[in-house]
């Protein structure tokens, strides 16, 4: 029966090619659509995890509810080094995050201050590669890095000095003069126009709090090792004063928005599948009507209707499988190429992407489930369309079908 079905699909190569092409285009379009959608999301998450958050975050209890310097955590250097030796942890980046008024001799603006360990931060976010003027911070540097947009607003250049005025620990005044060591281009526009980076010693001195941190941003090797790494952190330190959070907890609002977007994407994909399903159904109806005389003849010659139905099902299965495999074979090099060389946005689209905190590029995702799931969905749709030729064969009136 299998051999007969395979021979039948090549008796009329034109009809077979039409059916295979219909399945091929449906699977290919579905794969590319999902790949672009997942690739954009993965890029956004990568940008956030490299610049603003960690896979795991440690904060003082109560800091999330009230982000003030008085709710900073304290942790000694030995404990931080211990965290860096834990399995699956690739980076521990201490942060001191606060706000101040930045003044030049021209103008003043409210800014966010980020105290960093230059070595660990560069390993985490490749900050040194974004320097457009001047130099990156040294470990004991007393200078600062300014976002490009902020330097333009304050009208300062490398070598100039800015004044920072804010609040320190326990309500003390935080005041300091800092030379501009470099200007950095930050992907997210709000950060580029309003962020200043300084070393941890400078930040500690500025807020008058030694060993005080707003949080610890911990990066891991693989997403699937998140729970193992978090458990290792919890068992290696006295976690009672701290909140040890997964990145999903620290970005809960973004994930809520993402879930809403995914629901919308699923609705779009459902509409796409309906269109694809009708396209495949139209091809199946055409094939069934063209072969009506053939079906009548083989039934008249003694083939059981159930056997004929099984043969037709196998034919459609073979053609669907062939179209799906061809689509996967074509899509793999396309998606892998654009994962290494993403589509770069320009003009208004680039501005929109930057406004959402995304780098203006769209890479394609290459996860195996993207190819497999889309092929399985189209195979399922084809199985539904098979009911049409089966019903026609079971209801076939042989005396009418064999008439020329």
Residues 6+ apart with CB under 8 A from 259: none
What's the confidence (pLDDT) of residue 268? 79
Secondary structure, 3-state, 328-354: HHHHHHHHHHHHHCCEECCHHHHHHHH
Residue in 195, 394, 220 with CA at minimum distance from that of residue 305: 394
pLDDT at 135: 92
What is the average pLDDT across 209-220? 87
Helix (H) or strand (E) holding 151: helix 148-154
Average pLDDT over residues 243-253: 79
pLDDT for 44 beyond 80: no
Q: Give me the pLDDT at residue 110, please.
A: 92
Determine how β-strand 195-199 pairs with β-strand 108-116.
Answer: parallel
Per-residue pLDDT, 404: 63
- Which of 189, 220, 250 corresponds to the end of one domain? 250
Distance of CA 331 to the CA centre of its chain: 19
Which of 222, 250, 278 lies at the terminal end of a domain, its last residue? 250
pLDDT score for 333: 93
Indicate whether 173 pLDDT > 60: yes
Q: How is residue 223 annotated by DSSP?
A: G
pTM value? 0.69
Length of the chain: 404
CB 57 within 8 A of CB 215: yes
Q: Which position has the higher pLDDT, 206 or 30? A: 206
**Does position 352 have pLDDT exceeding 70, yes or no?**
no
| DSSP three-state, residue 64 | coil
Residue 224 has pLDDT above 80, yes or no: yes
Does the structure show a pLDDT above 80 at 372? yes
Q: Mean pLDDT, to the nearest integer, of 137-161?
A: 91
**Are 349 and 391 part of one and the same domain?**
yes
Last residue of a domain, one of 206, 221, 250: 250
Specify whether 296 is located in the same domain as 382: yes
Q: Could you count the other beta carbons within 10 Å of the beta carbon of residue 178?
A: 21
Rounded to an integer, the average pLDDT of 28-42 is 84
Q: Residue 291 — pLDDT band, cuts 50, 70, 90? A: confident
Total number of domains constituting the chain: 2
pLDDT for the residue 342: 83
Q: Which two tokens stand for residue 73?
A: 């955590």
pLDDT attached to residue 239: 79
Q: Which of the two residues, 335 and 171, has the higher pLDDT score?
A: 335
Report, as an integer, the average pLDDT of 264-276.
80
% pLDDT > 90, the chain:
19
pLDDT of residue 269: 79
Share of the chain above pLDDT 70, in %: 92
Question: Residue 237 belongs to what domain range?
Answer: 56-250
Q: Which of residues 231 and 293 earns the better pLDDT score?
A: 231
pLDDT, tens digit (0-9, with 9 covering 90-100), for 110-127:
999 999 999 988 888 888
Whether residues 33 and 117 share a domain: the answer is no
Q: How confident is the model at residue 401 (pLDDT cuts 50, 70, 90)?
A: low
Residues 246 and 259 in one domain: no
171 and 259 fall within a common domain = no
396 shares a domain with 295: yes
- The verdict on 278 and 237 lying in the same domain is no
Give the residue carrying structure tokens 């994962």. Answer: 339
Cα 159 versus chain centre, distance: 39
- What pLDDT does residue 151 have? 92
What is the model's pLDDT at position 199?
94
What pLDDT is attached to residue 240? Answer: 83
| Selected residue with higher pLDDT from 79 and 260 | 79
pLDDT higher than threshold 60 for residue 201: yes
Nearest to 60 by CA among 188, 216, 279: 216
* DSSP assigned state of 132: E
Q: What is the mean pLDDT of residues 376-381?
A: 84
Residue pair 360/189 in contact by the 8 Å Cβ criterion: no
In this prediction, residue 254 has a pLDDT band, given cuts at 50, 70 and 90, of: low
299 pLDDT tier (thresholds 50, 70, 90): confident
The reported pLDDT for the residue numbered 164 is: 93
Please check whether residues 60 and 40 belong to one and the same domain: no
More reliable by pLDDT, 272 or 148: 148
Co-location of 235 and 275 in the same domain: no
Specify whether 219 is located in the same domain as 358: no
Same domain, yes or no, for 235 and 295?
no
User: Residue 178 belongs to what H/E stretch?
Assistant: strand 173-184
Q: Please report the pLDDT score of residue 109 as a whole number.
A: 92
Same domain, 120 and 203: yes
Q: In this predicted model, which residue has the larger pLDDT, 30 or 110?
A: 110
CA distances from 207 to 57, 199, 329, 393 (A): 22, 12, 58, 83
């Amino acid at each position: 029966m299998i051999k007969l079905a395979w021979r039948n699909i090549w008796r009329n190569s034109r009809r077979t090619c039409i059916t295979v092409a219909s399945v091929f285009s449906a699977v290919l379009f579905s794969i590319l659509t999902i790949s672009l959608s997942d690739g954009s999301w993965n890029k956004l998450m990568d940008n956030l995890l490299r610049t603003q958050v960690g896979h795991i975050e440690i904060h003082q209890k109560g800091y999330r509810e009230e982000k003030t310097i008085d709710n900073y955590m304290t942790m000694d250097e030995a404990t931080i080094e211990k965290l860096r030796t834990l399995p699956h942890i690739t980076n521990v980046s201490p942060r001191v995050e606060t706000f101040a008024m930045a003044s030049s001799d021209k103008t003043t603006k409210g800014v966010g201050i980020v105290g960093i360990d230059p070595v660990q931060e560069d390993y985490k976010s490749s900050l040194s590669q974004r320097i457009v003027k001047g130099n990156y911070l040294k470990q004991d540097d007393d200078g600062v890095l300014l976002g490009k947009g902020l330097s333009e607003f304050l009208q300062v250049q490398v070598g100039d000095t800015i004044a920072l005025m804010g609040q320190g620990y326990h309500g003390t005044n935080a005041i300091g003069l800092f030379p501009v060591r470099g200007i950095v281009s930050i992907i997210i526009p709000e950060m580029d126009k309003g962020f200043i980076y300084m070393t941890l010693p400078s930040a500690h001195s500025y807020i008058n709090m030694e060993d005080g941190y707003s949080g610890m941003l911990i990066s891991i090797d693989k997403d699937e090792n998140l729970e193992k790494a978090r458990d290792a952190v919890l068992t290696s330190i006295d976690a009672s004063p701290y909140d040890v959070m997964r990145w999903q907890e620290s970005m809960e609002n973004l994930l809520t928005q993402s879930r809403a977007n995914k629901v919308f994407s699923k609705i779009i994909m459902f509409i796409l599948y309906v269109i694809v399903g009708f396209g495949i159904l139209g091809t199946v109806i055409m094939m069934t009507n063209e072969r009506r005389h053939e079906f009548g003849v083989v039934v008249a010659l003694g083939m059981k209707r159930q056997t004929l139905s099984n043969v037709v099902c196998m034919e459609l299965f073979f053609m669907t499988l062939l179209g799906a495999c061809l689509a996967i074979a074509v899509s793999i090099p396309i998606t892998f190429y654009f994962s290494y060389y993403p589509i770069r946005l320009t003009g208004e689209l680039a501005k929109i992407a930057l406004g959402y905190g995304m780098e203006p590029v769209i890479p394609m995702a290459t996860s195996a489930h993207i190819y497999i799931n889309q092929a399985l969905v189209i195979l399922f749709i084809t199985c539904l369309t098979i009911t049409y030729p089966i019903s026609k064969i079971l209801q076939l009136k042989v005396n009418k079908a064999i008439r020329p």
